[in-house]
Chains A and B, each alone.
Chain A
Amino acid sequence: MTKFTYTDKKDTRSGFGAGLAELGRTNPDVVALCADLVGSLKMQEFIKENPDRFFQVGIAEANMMGLAAGMTIGGKIPFTGTFANFSTGRVYDQIRQSIAYSDKNVKICASHAGLTLGEDGATHQILEDIGMMKMLPNMTVINPCDFNQTKAATIAIADHHGPVYLRFGRPAVPIFTPADQKFEIGKALHLIEGSDVTVFATGHLVWEAIEAEAVLAQEGISVEVINIHTIKPLDTEAILASVAKTGCVVTAEEHQMNGGLGDSVAQTLALNHPAPLEMVAVNDSFGESGKPAELMTKYGIDADNIVKAVRRVIARK
């Protein structure tokens, strides 16, 4: 049985910064754009080493999306950087027309996603971005779980032709995946094998799922934990194989219940293999100011809530 531990915590946005810096050294076609948030997106290293391949856009996100689309013409691979709210909701139409419908090779890199942005409050804590992006045809949606996986995902999306939404966050979270991992878009990762219930988690909630598994194991409940780092395309094969074994499901994400990972899994189950399902997600609510851990507890998206959801779903089997 794999046991996950960690010795260090780091923000996933730093994983993006490290991955982008590596791309700067290895892929001459990669260019980066930022809307006045270079420090927040950890883009300094790329800029320092490749000043000619960085474009400061100022506080003009709509223009940034159009510029990025235009830069693909001529063969560049643009990575845009701003907060998740301004990477999606603010510029949905620009992404829809100039990037997704036009199938442009733009990588929309979005930091400070979700409640764990913390003290800034609800205006900045977008919880709808996965839904908006996964609804767009041609768009790939990725939500990695820790520093190492975010770095690996950043590097991997440069080799994937087509628009990608890459979501990450600000708080320091445990680093528990290997530094030398290969990131495969659309391929779910089995973290813990189990037989009573499957927890499909994404992003920061993967570590919470691992913590929940340890609690439940002491109660004699065998939990399978699967990291769904790619929301779209969804690894339906891995999902259905696991559910066929366990017979019930919990999804866990830092997102609205509407439109997130839970929705995608529910659709997959309903169409292929109906099974009891509980969703750990924010339930039709905006967030508020607070410390990340406080917010996760208040809005019901921490390990404790996963434990409770597992007990509920097993009772429904």
Chain B
Amino acid sequence: MSKPTTAELERIASQVRRDIVRMVHGASSGHPGGSLGCTDFLVALYFYAMKRKEGFDPNGIDEDLFFLSNGHISPVWYSVLARSGYFETSELATFRQIDSRVQGHPATEEGLPGIRIASGSLGQGLSVACGAAQVKKLNGESTLVYALMGDGELEEGQVWEAAMYAAHHKIDNIIATVDYNGQQIDGPTDEVMSLGDLKAKWEAFGWTVIESQGNDMASIVKSLDEAKELTGQGKPILNLMTTEMGFGIDFMVGTHKWHGIAPNDEQLADALSQLEETLGDY
């Protein structure tokens, strides 16, 4: 099967954004801002970059793996997983409802296909991804491990423990991405806790750093190709990806306000009017 074009990926992303706002509206809670910002990346990852098997193998042997560390952007991941065929899109309607597998934050306990570990308490995902990547090497596998972290999450010390470990152990089959939107709950990261020069920091920790524009599909595709080329060279790879929270919906974009609140009926209608329905709503 040929790889989808940038235009085709953008059409999928439009549907995923519709799913996100509808899910969060339906639950009257959830995190639309970061989800919308990371939509283009997750669409490119699942529909373009990752080597995946049919069905869901919890151990992920001989396929690329993805770990979401900033679990609160679960809506985008759930939508991409459903649209990739891991489970029925109709199940997205149960987001954050009682008796659902589509929990507020990603969980394995409920058995949702496509998810291998719980996340929500920040800072733990890179460690898990490093462990999975190291086992792939031990098993003699050539497939890759991807991880996504939020930028605010880098304030957790465990992230830097994992960064140090990955470089020391030459885990060069991991491609970690930082969603660099400059926002966290209490305001801009520059005000809450300065992140400083992230490129220099990751490089100082022994990683190869590439940069990308996370709301430009062509840039994302290029960065994923570039990152893959850099694997197997003795160093872990970090993609510093600039995004805007709420991208794709004019009244949500570029503000922290939509980090963790749901649109009302009127706002939902406004949002949906800005996003083409391309694959059919669930």
Contacts and interface: CB of A to CB of B under 8 A. Distances in A.
Contacts of A76: 135, 138
A65 B161 CA distance: 11
B161 A60 contact: yes
Interface string B112-133: 0000111111011111111111
Given A73-B59, A73-B132, A94-B158, A62 B127 contact: yes
Given A60-B164, A63-B158, A73-B60, A97 B118 contact: yes
A73 B58 contact: yes
A75 B129 contact: no
Contacts of B165: 57-58, 60, 63, 67
A74 B60 contact: yes
Interface string B243-281: 000000000000000000000000000000000000000
A66 interface: yes
Interface in A55-107: 55, 57-58, 60, 62-76, 78, 93-94, 96-98, 101-104
Counting chain B residues whose Cβ lies within 8 A of the other chain, the interface size class is: 35 or more
Interface string A31-63: 100000000000000000000110101101011
A98 B125 CA distance: 9
Contact of A71 (B61, B121, B125, B132): B132
B157 interface: yes
A94 B122 CA distance: 10
Contacts of A75: 59, 61, 135, 139
A207 to B, nearest CB: 38
A63 B69 CA distance: 13
B42 interface: no
B127 A65 contact: yes
Contacts, number: 120
Given A71-B131, A73-B60, A94 B107 contact: no
A73 B65 contact: yes
Given A60-B164, A62-B127, A71 B118 contact: no
Contacts of B127: 62-67, 69-70, 94, 98
Contact of B118 (A60, A67, A73, A98): A98
A102 B108 contact: yes
A62 B109 contact: no
B51 interface: no
Given A63-B162, A71-B131, A74-B139, A93 B121 contact: yes
A67 B165 CA distance: 10
A102 B118 contact: yes
A68 B119 contact: no
A74 B161 contact: no
Given A63-B161, A63-B162, A70 B117 contact: yes
B135 A102 contact: no
B18 interface: no
A70 B162 CA distance: 12
A93 to B, nearest CB: 5
Given A74-B59, A103-B108, A103-B109, A62 B157 contact: yes
Contacts of B201: none
Interface in B146-185: 157-158, 161-162, 164-165, 168-169
B223 to A, nearest CB: 24
B161 A31 contact: no
B62 to A, nearest CB: 10
Contacts of B164: 58, 60
Given A73-B58, A101-B109, A103-B109, A67 B128 contact: yes
A81 to B, nearest CB: 15
Q: Ordered nearest first, which 5 A-B pairs have the shortest CB separation?
A: A66-B127, A70-B131, A74-B135, A63-B161, A67-B131
Interface of B: 58-61, 65, 67, 107-109, 116-121, 123-136, 138-139, 141, 157-158, 161-162, 164-165, 168-169
Given A70-B117, A94-B127, 11 more contacts: A55-B169, A58-B165, A63-B161, A66-B158, A67-B162, A73-B135, A93-B121, A97-B121, A98-B118, A98-B124, A98-B127
5 contacts: A31-B135, A66-B126, A67-B128, A67-B162, A69-B117
